[in-house]
C-alpha cells in the first residue's frame, strides 16, 4: 500500500485538478451505509466474544474457498467497473460498455456462488435459525446480496447511460461505479469477519 | 361487565348483532365517496396548494378500514357464541377499542375541513362560514371518545353518555348536515359552470 | 405588532400558510410520538419477547394507567398524520415527476398509521384494560402489539422507495440527491426487522440490537433529515412548476418575507 | 494516458487479490493440528488487512486519491472510525467477558 501512496503524490498528480468522482451525494450513502454495517459488525463481534466456542465450531462448517472465490469475483468486478469509468472518461464508449458488462458478469458469478454456498450450508443443516453464528452469517450475507441485487439495477442505469450518445453522463457512470465499489468493500469486510476472524 | 355477562350477551343477542353488523359491513365504506366529494370541493377553494385536499384524501381510507376490522371482531364474536367466555370478551374488547380509533380520523377530518373553510377567502366561498363552526363543534363532541378505555363506568365508558351517545349523534348529525351542504354546493358549482360555458 | 398578533396574522394571510401548517403539524406529531411512546406509556424501548407470562402480566400492571391514558392521546392525535402525509405528497407534486408518485405515497402512508401504531395501540390498550384477564391472552396481546409495530415493514419500505425514486429522477431539485440515497438506507433497514417474526431472543428479536436499536438510529436520522429538508423546500417554494430556486441569502429572505407580508 | 491508468488498476487488483489469498495462509496458521482455537492475533490481523483493503479500494478504485482534500480526509477518518468500532467492540467485549 505504501508504494501506491508514494505514486499518488507525484508532482504531475498533485497539479491535476481535484474532483469528486460521481455525484457528491452518493458519498453520503457510502459513508452512512458503511457506518451502518460497522454497527452490524460490532454487534456480531460482541456476540462472538460471549460465545467463542460456538462461533468457532460453526465457523468451521464454512468453506473458505467459497469466501475467497467470492471476494476475488467481486474484486474483479470492481476492477472492471474502474476500467469502465476510465474508458468512458476518455470517450472509449465501446470499451466502457464491454467493461460494464464484465462487471455485471462477475457480479452474477458472485451471486451464483453465494447461492450455491447457501444451498450447501442448508444441506448441512445450518440454517438461519440453527444458532447465533448462522443467524449472523445468513443475515450479513443476505443483506449484502440485497445490495448486490440493487447493484444490478444501478449497473443497468450505467449501461443505459453508456449506450446512447445522447444520454452519456460521465457523472452518473461514476456515481454507479461508486455504488458498486461500496458493495465490493462491504463484502471485503464481511468476508474477513465471517470466515477468518478467530 | 364480566366475561360471562359479555358472553351471555353475545349468546342472547346473536341475531341482532349479526344482522346489524352485516348491514354496517355493507355500508361502512360509503364514507369514502363522501369524503372524496368534500376533498374535491376543497380543491376549488382559494388555496395556493392542494395540501388541504390531500389531507382529506389521506383521512378518507383510515376510518372504513378500521371500522371493517372492528366489524369483523364483532361478527367473529357472534359467529360461535358458545366458545369460552374469556375469548368472546377478548373479541368484544378488541372490537370496541378498534371502533374507538375511528374517532381521531373523524376529528382530523372535521378540523381540516374547518381550517380549509376559514382559509377560503374569496367573494363567493365554496362553503359558508357556519359549516366551519359546525365542524369544529363536531370535533369537540368527538374528542372525549378517544379516552374510552380509561374507565368502564361513567360518561367516558364506551356505552357512556360522552363516548357513545354524544359521539354517535355527532357522527350522524355530521353525515346529514354535510350531505345537505355538499349537495347544495355541487348544485351551485354546476350552475356556475353552465353560466361559464 | 405583538408576537401573538403577528402569528395570528401570518396564520390567516401568509402565502405559504398551508405549507407551514403541515410542517408544524409534522414537527409536533413526531415530538408527541416520542414523548408518548417513550415517557408516558413507556412501551418503548421494547421489552424482551423472551419473557415469561407472569413477567408480562407484571409489565402491563406497572404501566396500566400510562398505557390507557397515553394511548388515549395517541388515538386523539393520530389524525395529525394526514397533513403530514399531504406535505410529503406535495413535495412530490412539486417535482418534475409524474403525479403517480405523489398519489401512491399519499394513499400508502395514509394507511401506514394502522400497522405502524394503531394496531399496537389497540392491542396494548386491550391488554392493559383488564388486568384480571387470562394471562395467556395478555401474552398474546403483548406479542400482537410488538410484532405488529416492529414487524410491519412493507408499507414503509415501498413508501421510501417511491419517494427515493421520485427524488432521484426529479429535475426540479426539490430535494438533494443524497437524501434519495439515504432513503435507500432507510428502506434497507426495514428489511432487517423481518427476523423479529422468527426469533424470541438475541439481536434479531423485536428488542434486539440490530432489529431495533440500529434501525431506530437510522429512522430518527432519516426523519430529522426530511423535516429539515421539507422546511428548506417550503422556504424555497415559489409556486411555479420549474426548478425550485436556491435558498435565498439572509437579507433577501427577510425582504421577501416583508414583501409577502405586504401583499 | 489510458495505458498507465489500466496498468495501475491491474496492479491494484493484484495487490488486493494477494491480500485475499493471504487470508488462506492466515486461516491455516491459526489452527494447531486441526484444533480450532480463538486467536486475538488472527482476529486483529484479519480486521486490519480488511481495512487496509478498504482503504485501497477507496483510494484507487473509487478515485478518492484525485478527490478534494475534504473527501480524502473523510474517507481516511472513516477507515479509522471503522477500525475503532471493530477493534473496540472486540477488545472491550473481551475485557468484559474476562
Burial profile B59-74: b = 16 or more Cβ within 10 angstroms, e = fewer: bbbbbbbbbebbbbbb
For chain D, which residues make up each domain, given as ranges? 2-97
Helices within chain A (DSSP H only) = 2-8, 11-15, 24-50, 52-59, 64-89, 93-123, 132-163, 170-191
- The residues in B 97-136 lying below 8 A from C, measured between CB atoms, are 97-98, 100-101, 103-105, 107-109, 111-112, 115, 118-119
- pLDDT (0 to 100) of residue C50: 87
Chain D contact present for A18, CB below 8 A: yes
pLDDT band, residue A1 (cuts 50/70/90): very low
- pLDDT (0 to 100) of residue A34: 92
Interface contact flag, D67 A18, Cβ < 8 Å: yes
| 3-state secondary structure labels for all residues of C137-160 | HHHHHHHHHHHHHHHCCHHHHHHH
Interface contact flag, A25 C176, Cβ < 8 Å: yes
Q: If phi over 0 gives left and psi between -120 and 50 gives alpha, with beta otherwise, what is residue D63?
A: left
- Measured in angstroms, the CA of C208 and the nearest CA of chain A are apart by 10
How do residues D54-84 score in pLDDT, each as one tens digit? 999 999 889 888 888 899 999 999 999 999 9
For chain A, which residues make up each domain, given as ranges? 23-196
Residues of A with CB below 8 A from D46's CB?
Answer: 192-193, 196-198
Q: How far apart are CA B99 and CA B112, in angstroms?
A: 21
Overall fold of domain A23-196: 1.20.120
Residue with more model confidence, A44 or B158: A44
B77-81, B129-133, C72-76: range with lowest mean pLDDT: C72-76
Chain A contact present for C204, CB below 8 A: yes
Greatest Cα pair distance in chain A:
59
How do residues A119-174 score in pLDDT, each as one tens digit? 999 999 888 888 889 999 999 999 999 999 999 999 999 999 888 888 788 889 99
Residues of A with CB below 8 A from C217's CB?
Answer: 39
Q: Which of B4, B38, B39, B49 to mutate to test the interface with C (most CBs of C within 10 A)?
A: B49
Q: What is the ipTM of this complex?
A: 0.86
pLDDT band, residue A9 (cuts 50/70/90): very low
Q: What is the grid cell recorded at A86?
A: 476510465
- pLDDT (0 to 100) of residue A4: 42
pTM, two decimals, is 0.87
Q: Which of C75, C105, C132, C238 to mutate to test the interface with B (most CBs of B within 10 A)?
A: C75
Interface contact flag, A135 C184, Cβ < 8 Å: no
- Measured in angstroms, the CA of A198 and the nearest CA of chain D are apart by 5
The answer to whether D58 and D85 are in contact (CB under 8 A) is: no
Amino acid at each position: 500500500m505504501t508504494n501506491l501512496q508514494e505514486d499518488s503524490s507525484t508532482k504531475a498528480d498533485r497539479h491535476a485538478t481535484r474532483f469528486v468522482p460521481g455525484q457528491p451525494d452518493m458519498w453520503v450513502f457510502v459513508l452512512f451505509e458503511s457506518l451502518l454495517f460497522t454497527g452490524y459488525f460490532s454487534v456480531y463481534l460482541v456476540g462472538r466474544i460471549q460465545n467463542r466456542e460456538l462461533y468457532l465450531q460453526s465457523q468451521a462448517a464454512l468453506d473458505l474457498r467459497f469466501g475467497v472465490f467470492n471476494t476475488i469475483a467481486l474484486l474483479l468486478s470492481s476492477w472492471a467497473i474502474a476500467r469502465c469509468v476510465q474508458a468512458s472518461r476518455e470517450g472509449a464508449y465501446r470499451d466502457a460498455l464491454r467493461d460494464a458488462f464484465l462487471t455485471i458478469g462477475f457480479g452474477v458469478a458472485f451471486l451464483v456462488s453465494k447461492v450455491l454456498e447457501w444451498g450447501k450450508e442448508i444441506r448441512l443443516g445450518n440454517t438461519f435459525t440453527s444458532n447465533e453464528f448462522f443467524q449472523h452469517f445468513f443475515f450479513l450475507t443476505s443483506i449484502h446480496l440485497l445490495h448486490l441485487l440493487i447493484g444490478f439495477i444501478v449497473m443497468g442505469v450505467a449501461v443505459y447511460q453508456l449506450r446512447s450518445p445522447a444520454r452519456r453522463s460521465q457523472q452518473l457512470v461514476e456515481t454507479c461505479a461508486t455504488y458498486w465499489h461500496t458493495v465490493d468493500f462491504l463484502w471485503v469486510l464481511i468476508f474477513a469477519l465471517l470466515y477468518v476472524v478467530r | 361487565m364480566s366475561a360471562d355477562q359479555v358472553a351471555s350477551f353475545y349468546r342472547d343477542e346473536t341475531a341482532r348483532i349479526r344482522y346489524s353488523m352485516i348491514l354496517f359491513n355493507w355500508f361502512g365504506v360509503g364514507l369514502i365517496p363522501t369524503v372524496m366529494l368534500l376533498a374535491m370541493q376543497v380543491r376549488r377553494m382559494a388555496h395556493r396548494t392542494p395540501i388541504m385536499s390531500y389531507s382529506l384524501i389521506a383521512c378518507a381510507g383510515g376510518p372504513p378500514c378500521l371500522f371493517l376490522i372492528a366489524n369483523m371482531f364483532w361478527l367473529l364474536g357472534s359467529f360461535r357464541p358458545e366458545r369460552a367466555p374469556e375469548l368472546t370478551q377478548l373479541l368484544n374488547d378488541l372490537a370496541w377499542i378498534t371502533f374507538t380509533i375511528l374517532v381521531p380520523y373523524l376529528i382530523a377530518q372535521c378540523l381540516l375541513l374547518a381550517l380549509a373553510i376559514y382559509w377560503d377567502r374569496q367573494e363567493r366561498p365554496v362553503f359558508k362560514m357556519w359549516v366551519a363552526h359546525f365542524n369544529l363543534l363536531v370535533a369537540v363532541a368527538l374528542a372525549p371518545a378517544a379516552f374510552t378505555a380509561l374507565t368502564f363506568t361513567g360518561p367516558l365508558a364506551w356505552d357512556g353518555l360522552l363516548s357513545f351517545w354524544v359521539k354517535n349523534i355527532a357522527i350522524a348529525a355530521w353525515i346529514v348536515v354535510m350531505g345537505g351542504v355538499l349537495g347544495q354546493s355541487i348544485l351551485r358549482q354546476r350552475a356556475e359552470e353552465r353560466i361559464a360555458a | 405588532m405583538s408576537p401573538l398578533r403577528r402569528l395570528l396574522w401570518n396564520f390567516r394571510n401568509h402565502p405559504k400558510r398551508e405549507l407551514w401548517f403541515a410542517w408544524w403539524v409534522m414537527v409536533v406529531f413526531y415530538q408527541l410520538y416520542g414523548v408518548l411512546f417513550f415517557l408516558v406509556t413507556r412501551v418503548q424501548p421494547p421489552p424482551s419477547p423472551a419473557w415469561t407470562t407472569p413477567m408480562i402480566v407484571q409489565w402491563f400492571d406497572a404501566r396500566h394507567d400510562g398505557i390507557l391514558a397515553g394511548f388515549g392521546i395517541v388515538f386523539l392525535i393520530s389524525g395529525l398524520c394526514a397533513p403530514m402525509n399531504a406535505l410529503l405528497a406535495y413535495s412530490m407534486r412539486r417535482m418534475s415527476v409524474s403525479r403517480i408518485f405523489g398519489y401512491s405515497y399519499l394513499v400508502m402512508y395514509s394507511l401506514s398509521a394502522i400497522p405502524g401504531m394503531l394496531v399496537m395501540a389497540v392491542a396494548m390498550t386491550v391488554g392493559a384494560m383488564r388486568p384480571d384477564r387470562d394471562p395467556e391472552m395478555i401474552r398474546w396481546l403483548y406479542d400482537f402489539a410488538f410484532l405488529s409495530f416492529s414487524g410491519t415493514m412493507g408499507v414503509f419500505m415501498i413508501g421510501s422507495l417511491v419517494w427515493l425514486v421520485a427524488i432521484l429522477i426529479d429535475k426540479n431539485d426539490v430535494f438533494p440527491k443524497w437524501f434519495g440515497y439515504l432513503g435507500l438506507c432507510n428502506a434497507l433497514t426495514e428489511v432487517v426487522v423481518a427476523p423479529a417474526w422468527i426469533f424470541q431472543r438475541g439481536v434479531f428479536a423485536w428488542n434486539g440490537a440490530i432489529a431495533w436499536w440500529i434501525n431506530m438510529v437510522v429512522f430518527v436520522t432519516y426523519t430529522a433529515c426530511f423535516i429539515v429538508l421539507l422546511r428548506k423546500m417550503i422556504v424555497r417554494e415559489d409556486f411555479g412548476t420549474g426548478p425550485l430556486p436556491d435558498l435565498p441569502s439572509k437579507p433577501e429572505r427577510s425582504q421577501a418575507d416583508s414583501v409577502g407580508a405586504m401583499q | 494516458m489510458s495505458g498507465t491508468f489500466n496498468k495501475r488498476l491491474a496492479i491494484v487488483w493484484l495487490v488486493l487479490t494477494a491480500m485475499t489469498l493471504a487470508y488462506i495462509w492466515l486461516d491455516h496458521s491459526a489452527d494447531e493440528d486441526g484444533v480450532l482455537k480463538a486467536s486475538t492475533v488472527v482476529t486483529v490481523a484479519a480486521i486490519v488487512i480488511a481495512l487496509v483493503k478498504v482503504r485501497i479500494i477507496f483510494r484507487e478504485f473509487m478515485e478518492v486519491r484525485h478527490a478534494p482534500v475534504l473527501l480524502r480526509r473523510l474517507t481516511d477518518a472513516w477507515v479509522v472510525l471503522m477500525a475503532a468500532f471493530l477493534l473496540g467492540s472486540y477488545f472491550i467485549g473481551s475485557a468484559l467477558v474476562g
